[in-house]
Amino acid sequence: MTEVQLIELTVNGERHDLAVEPRRTLVDVLRHDLGLTGTHVGCEHGICGACTVLVDGAPARACLMFAAQAEDADIRTVESLAAPDGTLNDLQRSFSAHHGLQCGFCTPGFLMLAEGYLAERPEASKEEIREVVASNVCRCTGYQTIVEAIDDCAGRRRAAFQAQLDSGRSA
Amino acid sequence: MKPAAFTYHRARSVAAAVGLLNDLGDDAKIIAGGQSLVAMMNFRLARPEHLIDIGRVPGLDHIRRDGAALRIGALVTHHAVETADLGTDFAVVSDAMRWIGHLPIRTRGTVGGSLAHADATAEWCLLAVLLDAEIVAEGSGGRRTIPAGEFFQGVFTTALEPDELIVEVVFPRPAPRAALTEYAERRGDFATVAAAVDLDAPRVVLGGVATVPLRVPSAEAVLMTDGPRIPAGEAAAAAIDPRDEPGVSAHYRRALTRTLVERACEEAAAR
């Protein structure tokens, strides 16, 4: 008989009690047990990055973690980016504006990679973004437009933050 | 692929992990960040019957200066070291982190896991040999310290006993003029050749040219007498005995070795 284990996962702010095999990776639990199919599965050995999610805010490969290891952690997937009414967030809009995707298979991974990275390093330069983007594999767009999408979004976020500071000062 | 079935155990302390290792024997493996182990399990190159998760064992996540020494807990991630300010004394350690895989690997992978996995191209393994690190392990016989020079014994093989796990690595001496560099066909991939140099010790250590991180005494002797750069690279290239492999000829690996040792010497001298 297959061994089943009870685990509790917090995904996009929601708690889930699950009975899963210990060998279930985080990405398989997200997709098969929680129905969150926005996170994609590519290579299953940590090379392609299609399964990238945020674990306690940091980008991580969901294929290289067992779900049981993610108990007590705060998991965020691509489903958390858009507003409940489906309005895309600024990073997603930037990918669209810069044509940062074609087939879209790799996109959820790139989005979560960029969200995690920009949260840690909002002042990232274009060269630093290019280096981080090398973490994930895209086989159709090429990386130029992805780099531009992330760089543009980072610039807009910095400008918005600065505007907020300025208005606070003048008030 | 999907990994084979196993039983999952969560250890709450080092003693509990040691107890589990004792009880479960050879069929058990420790998992920390799992960035090598889970990939191997997905390929079914590893099929442990039991996994002992030490990911949340408290007290193993420190990065601390202790006099001249630097002490790093086994569960510290590569990314934590990458972003820590280790000062000029150990800049070689934090700077080497960018060579480890990619950011999402470095946020999960751990120092102890990398040393225990003992890939001969792994940056932590090279750093350990380069800086005469002491690897602190705990088993049912208590704690002991294993010098890095005796720790790596062969392909993915270490001096750890079956009931031992790494709790800490200690770098006993500052290395302000040291550097690590490498070459891989793709950014973030396993190094074809990696070279690490400490001009003061002096030490020259190579990865990817033998089954363990390889010290090259003849190149160290050159650093002692001639000073850095080109002769050390030539000595290192002459000292290794690589085999022709598909896509990487012995000649090419030797040429890479010469170039990378020279480059590491220049970077170390420029610090």
| pLDDT tens figures, B82-135 | 999 999 999 999 999 999 999 999 999 999 999 999 999 999 999 999 999 999
User: For residue B147, how many other CB atoms are within 10 A of its CB?
Assistant: 14
Domain range summary for chain B, segments of one domain joined by +:
7-53, 63-171, 178-270
Residues of A in contact with B31 (CB under 8 A): 66, 69
Mutate to test the interface with B, among A6, A18, A23, A137 (most CBs of B within 10 A): A23
Torsion, Cα A90 A91 A93 A96, to 10 degrees, reads 170
B11/B51 Cα distance (integer angstroms): 10
Q: How confident is the model over A26-33, as a mean pLDDT?
A: 98
Residues of A in contact with B108 (CB under 8 A): 55, 58, 60-61, 64-65
Torsion, Cα B33 B35 B40 B46, to 10 degrees, reads -20
Give the residue from A65, A80, A95 where a domain finishes: A80
> CA of B37: which chain A residue's CA is closest?
A64
Give the residue from A80, A104, A129 where a domain finishes: A80
Write the pLDDT tens digit of every residue in A104-150. Answer: 999 999 999 999 999 999 999 999 999 999 999 999 978 999 999 99
By three-state DSSP, how is residue B222 classified? helix
Which numeric CATH code is attached to B178-270?
A: 3.30.390.50
Give how far Cα A157 sits from Cα of A77, A160, B68, B136, B232, Å.
21, 5, 42, 45, 49
Write the pLDDT tens digit of every residue in A34-87. Answer: 999 999 999 999 999 999 999 999 999 999 999 999 999 999 999 999 999 999
CA distance A114 to chain B (A): 11
> CA of B40: which chain A residue's CA is closest?
A45
CB spacing of A61 vs B108 below 8 angstroms? yes
> What does the DSSP 8-state code read for residue B64?
E
Q: Looking at the structure, tell me whether residues A72 and A89 fall in a common domain.
A: no
What is the second-level CATH architecture of the domain B7-53? 2-Layer Sandwich (3.30)
A77/B177 Cα distance (integer angstroms): 43
Q: Looking at the structure, tell me whether residues A105 and A55 fall in a common domain.
A: no
User: For residue B51, how many other CB atoms are within 10 A of its CB?
Assistant: 27
Scanning the structure block, which residue is given the tokens 């190579």? B206
Which of the following CATH numbers is that of domain B63-171: 3.90.320.10, 1.10.1200.10, 2.40.37.20, 3.30.465.10? 3.30.465.10
> What does the DSSP 8-state code read for residue B95?
H
Residues of B in contact with A116 (CB under 8 A): 103-104, 107
> CA of B49: which chain A residue's CA is closest?
A23
By three-state DSSP, how is residue B71 classified? strand
CB spacing of A23 vs B2 below 8 angstroms? yes
By three-state DSSP, how is residue A18 classified? strand
Mutate to test the interface with B, among A41, A45, A51, A74 (most CBs of B within 10 A): A45
| pLDDT for position A24 | 97
Write the pLDDT tens digit of every residue in B9-46. Answer: 999 999 999 999 999 988 999 999 999 999 999 999 99
Determine what percent of chain B is predicted with pLDDT higher than 70.
99
CATH number of the domain encompassing residue A151: 1.10.150.120
Give the bridge partners for B170, in sequence order.
Answer: B71, B134
Q: Are B41 and B47 in contact (CB under 8 A)?
A: yes
Segments forming the whole domain that contains residue A13: 1-80
User: For residue A125, how many other CB atoms are within 10 A of its CB?
Assistant: 11
Residues near A1 by beta carbon (within 8 Å), at least 6 away in sequence: none
| pLDDT for position B228 | 59
Check CB contact of B259 with chain A, cutoff 8 Å: no
The mean of the pLDDT values for chain A is: 96
When computed from its CA atoms, the radius of gyration of chain B, rounded to whole angstroms, is 18
A1 pLDDT higher than 60: no
| pLDDT for position A3 | 87
Check CB contact of B4 with chain A, cutoff 8 Å: yes
Residue A169's pLDDT band, with cuts at 50, 70 and 90, is confident
| pLDDT for position B1 | 85
CA distance B253 to chain A (A): 24
Characterize the bridge pairing of strands B214-215 and A74-76.
Answer: unpaired
> CA of B108: which chain A residue's CA is closest?
A60
Torsion, Cα B122 B123 B126 B131, to 10 degrees, reads -150
Taking any CB pair shorter than 8 Å as contact, residues of chain A touching chain B are: 2-3, 5, 21-23, 25, 28, 44-46, 49, 52, 55, 58-61, 63-66, 68-69, 72, 113, 116-117, 131-132, 134-136
